[in-house]
């Protein structure tokens, strides 16, 4: 199956060799991102301090709920995008946009580099919902201005599940010799001063609306200060637009493809637009289908703005939107009206040299990739663990699959044993330090405290293991809070076999409409297969029971 390839690039080989003197210093930067709807790739080149976009390609893929099929689509798309690329010894930045990504910020003193990673792991272990041993950390340090003699740094840290990262890495070419660098967000937008008018705005908010995920990022003085990801995107709107409506021809519904086309080409916010979509439904009848989801998006952005203002004492006075769904006609005006803050599109061409063969209107589709390149092009590269490197090198070195598997297993076991022994030594060292520090209060008390801490840590690891297959409760209950109208009361919630059983009541007046609206609003990125099990009329109220699966 051939996947559709959208290529926005320019062949600079001959042109550059003729126009550029050989003494000019050049450096290339590559970045790739896997999403549920496409795989994207960019190549940028810096020549004597001037950054130029040479390639911006994307390969659309079908959406599949089967992980194996999804992996096949990703691998085929990555192969197409990199078919003619000469990767050589270049680093590849792997952008990972996931709801599982966790971000936090710490203030730390100047410490030896060899202790930095363990320090950040220790600080992040209580900030993430999965074991720190199964996390891959990505961080950046910024020195803080202070009149004190001791230097302090602001540490921006993000954590990703190692399993998720490894899943993406399996689809990358095996011959990339240097480490792949993970990036879950751009820690700085200082490389785009004109795009965001940093000199005019101390606080910049960037809302990146993708296919499944919307990222809300706050940048103070050009540096990331707060990051939040929510389950909203173009796919949610497409599902809403594909609901059936009653028309003169009977019950009609748009397909997902027709919904996407309507979203791109028509202003769905225009109540006077009587144009027919695919000969089925008028444009003016589509906005009510997506109104609730758009209001949810506006509400989530408002909550983020209020939270930041309360925690940091600073209000945002401008929002920039980007991503494929941000192109939706009328969305920018809708958000500006609801948020009561100016909302502007991102124009990357203000800071990036772009040839005429690359349409500037397409750049926002590649904002995440371009932003992480600009953020990381001068930053230190953090490599993956030695075990992953050994596994990669063995996969390339041995031609016999059986021999490779046996030797790989032996060496990985040895490396695991060494790593385990090293961790033992590290933990014992930390334990001894804690006990020595506690001698002032009594050596015996320090031992008891350490034993309790060990029990707590073991309990956290056990809890994380038990909850591996559990849903993301915070997202699920947040979605329930948004879905229930004011006149509908939720009286009971139970969870069984990956499904929620919801029981509630609603006043008899307008009860059928309220329950119907609730069923429609529940169907989305968190819940699916929403089914009304039963209803029962009681004195003045209607009691209902709903079953819905959790993604």
- CATH number at 498 reads 3.30.1360.100
Q: Is 117 a domain residue?
A: no
**Are 318 and 415 in a shared domain?**
no
Q: Is 51 a domain residue?
A: no
Say yes or no to pLDDT of 459 above 80: no
Residue where a domain stops, chosen among 414, 446, 469: 469
E strand or H helix that includes residue 431: helix 401-437
Overall number of domains in the chain:
3
pLDDT tens by residue, 534-548: 888 877 788 889 998
Per the structure, the complete domain to which residue 313 belongs is given by: 196-346
Q: How far, in Å, CA of 315 to CA of 308, rounded?
A: 7
Q: How far, in Å, CA of 74 to CA of 38, rounded?
A: 8
Q: Is 317 a domain residue?
A: yes
- Sort strands 319-322 and 343-345 into parallel, antiparallel or unpaired: parallel
**The pLDDT of residue 306:** 94
Q: How far, in Å, CA of 32 to CA of 74, rounded?
A: 11
Q: Is 250 a domain residue?
A: yes
**Are 447 and 521 in a shared domain?**
no
First to last CA, the chain: 28
- Sort strands 92-95 and 38-47 into parallel, antiparallel or unpaired: unpaired
Mean pLDDT over residues 462-475, rounded? 62
- Sort strands 92-95 and 541-550 into parallel, antiparallel or unpaired: unpaired
pLDDT tens by residue, 325-362: 999 999 999 999 999 999 999 998 888 888 777 788 88
Non-local (6+) Cβ contacts of 207 within 8 A are 214, 215, 216, 217, 301, 319, 320, 321, 322, 323, 326, 335
Mean pLDDT over residues 126-145, rounded? 89
Q: Which of 545, 543, 540 is nearest to 509 (CA)?
A: 540
Q: Is 406 a domain residue?
A: yes
**Are 267 and 210 in a shared domain?**
yes
Mean pLDDT over residues 320-326, rounded? 93
Residue where a domain stops, chosen among 346, 361, 377: 346
Least confident of 84-88, 264-268, 457-461, 532-536: 457-461
Mean pLDDT over residues 114-122, rounded? 89
Q: Is 61 a domain residue?
A: no
- In sequence order, what E strands does 162-274 have? 180-183, 203-209, 214-220, 223-230, 245-247, 250-252
Contact of 411 with 397, CB cutoff 8 Å: no
**Are 460 and 522 in a shared domain?**
no
**Are 503 and 440 in a shared domain?**
no
pTM confidence score: 0.67
Say yes or no to pLDDT of 298 above 90: yes
Say yes or no to pLDDT of 445 above 70: no
Q: How far, in Å, CA of 544 to CA of 529, rounded?
A: 16
Q: Which of 449, 526, 423 is nearest to 480 (CA)?
A: 526
Alpha-carbon dihedral 282, 287, 289, 294, rounded to 10 degrees: 160
Residue 503 half-sphere exposure, CB side, CA atoms within 13 Å? 7
**The pLDDT of residue 215:** 95
CATH number, domain with residue 263: 3.30.420.40
Q: Is 274 a domain residue?
A: yes
**Are 462 and 519 in a shared domain?**
no
Q: Is 45 a domain residue?
A: no
pLDDT tens by residue, 382-402: 433 333 432 343 344 333 444
DSSP-H helix ranges across 216-348: 234-241, 256-265, 287-312, 331-339
Least confident of 139-153, 269-283, 405-419: 405-419
**Are 200 and 250 in a shared domain?**
yes
Beta bridge partners of residue 504, listed in sequence order = 490, 544
**Are 415 and 512 in a shared domain?**
no
Q: How far, in Å, CA of 380 to CA of 474, rounded?
A: 35
Say yes or no to pLDDT of 252 above 60: yes
Residue where a domain stops, chosen among 451, 469, 487: 469
**Are 212 and 304 in a shared domain?**
yes
**Are 224 and 335 in a shared domain?**
yes
**Are 315 and 209 in a shared domain?**
yes
Contact of 220 with 309, CB cutoff 8 Å: no
The DSSP call for residue 222 is T
**Are 454 and 341 in a shared domain?**
no
Question: What are the backbone angles phi and psi of residue 493, rounded to the nearest 5°?
Answer: -135, 130
What percentage of residues in the chain have a pLDDT greater than 90? Answer: 24
Most confident of 15-19, 29-33, 474-478: 29-33
């Amino acid at each position: 199956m051939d996947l559709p390839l959208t290529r926005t690039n320019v062949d600079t080989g001959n042109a550059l060799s003729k126009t550029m003197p050989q003494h000019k210093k050049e450096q290339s930067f590559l970045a790739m991102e896997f999403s549920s709807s496409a795989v994207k790739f960019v190549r940028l080149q810096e020549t004597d301090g001037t950054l130029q976009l040479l390639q911006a390609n994307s390969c659309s893929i079908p959406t599949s709920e089967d992980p194996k099929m999804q992996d096949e689509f990703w691998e085929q798309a990555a192969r197409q995008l990199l078919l003619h690329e000469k990767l050589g010894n270049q680093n590849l930045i792997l952008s990972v946009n996931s709801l599982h990504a966790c971000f936090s910020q710490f203030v730390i003193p100047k410490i030896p580099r060899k202790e930095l990673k363990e320090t950040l792991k220790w600080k992040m272990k209580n900030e993430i919902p999965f074991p720190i041993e199964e996390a891959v950390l990505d961080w950046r340090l910024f020195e803080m201005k202070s009149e004190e003699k001791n230097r302090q740094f602001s540490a921006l840290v993000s954590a990703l599940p190692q399993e998720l990262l490894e899943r993406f890495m399996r689809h990358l070419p095996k011959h990339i010799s240097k480490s792949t660098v993970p990036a879950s967000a751009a820690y700085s937008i200082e490389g785009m001063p004109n795009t965001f008018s940093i000199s005019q705005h101390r606080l910049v908010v960037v809302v990146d609306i993708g296919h499944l995920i919307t990222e809300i990022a706050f940048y103070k003085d050009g540096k990331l200060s707060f990051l939040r990801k929510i389950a909203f995107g173009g796919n949610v709107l497409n599902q809403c637009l594909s609901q059936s409506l009653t028309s003169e021809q009977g019950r009609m519904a748009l397909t997902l493809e027709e919904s996407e086309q309507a979203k791109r080409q028509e202003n769905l916010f225009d109540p006077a637009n009587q144009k027919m979509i695919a000969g089925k439904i008028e444009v003016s009848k589509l906005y009510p289908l997506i109104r609730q989801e758009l209001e949810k998006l506006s509400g989530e952005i408002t909550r983020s703005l209020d939270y930041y203002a309360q925690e940091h004492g600073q209000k945002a006075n401008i929002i920039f939107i980007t991503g494929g769904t941000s192109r939706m006609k009328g969305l920018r005006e809708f958000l500006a009206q609801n948020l009561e803050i100016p909302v502007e599109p991102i124009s990357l061409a203000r800071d990036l040299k772009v040839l005429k063969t690359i349409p500037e209107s397409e750049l926002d589709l590649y904002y995440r990739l371009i932003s992480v390149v600009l953020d990381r092009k001068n930053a230190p590269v953090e490599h993956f663990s030695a075990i992953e490197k050994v596994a990669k090198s063995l996969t390339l070195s041995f031609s016999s699959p059986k021999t490779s598997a046996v030797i790989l297993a032996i060496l990985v076991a040895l490396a695991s044993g060494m790593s385990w022994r090293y961790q033992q030594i590290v933990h014992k060292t930390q334990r001894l330090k804690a006990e020595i520090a506690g001698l002032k209060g009594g050596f015996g008390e320090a031992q008891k405290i350490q034993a309790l801490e060990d029990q707590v840590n073991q309990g956290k690891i056990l809890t994380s293991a038990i909850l591996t297959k559990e849903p993301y409760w915070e997202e699920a209950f947040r979605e329930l809070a948004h879905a229930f109208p004011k006149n509908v009361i939720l009286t009971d919630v139970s969870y069984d076999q990956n499904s929620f059983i919801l029981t509630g009541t609603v006043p008899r007046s307008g009860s059928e409409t309220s329950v119907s609206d609730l069923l429609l609003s529940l169907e989305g990125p968190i819940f699916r297969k929403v089914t009304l099990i039963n209803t029962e009329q009681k004195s003045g109220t209607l009691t209902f029971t709903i079953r819905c699966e959790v993604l």
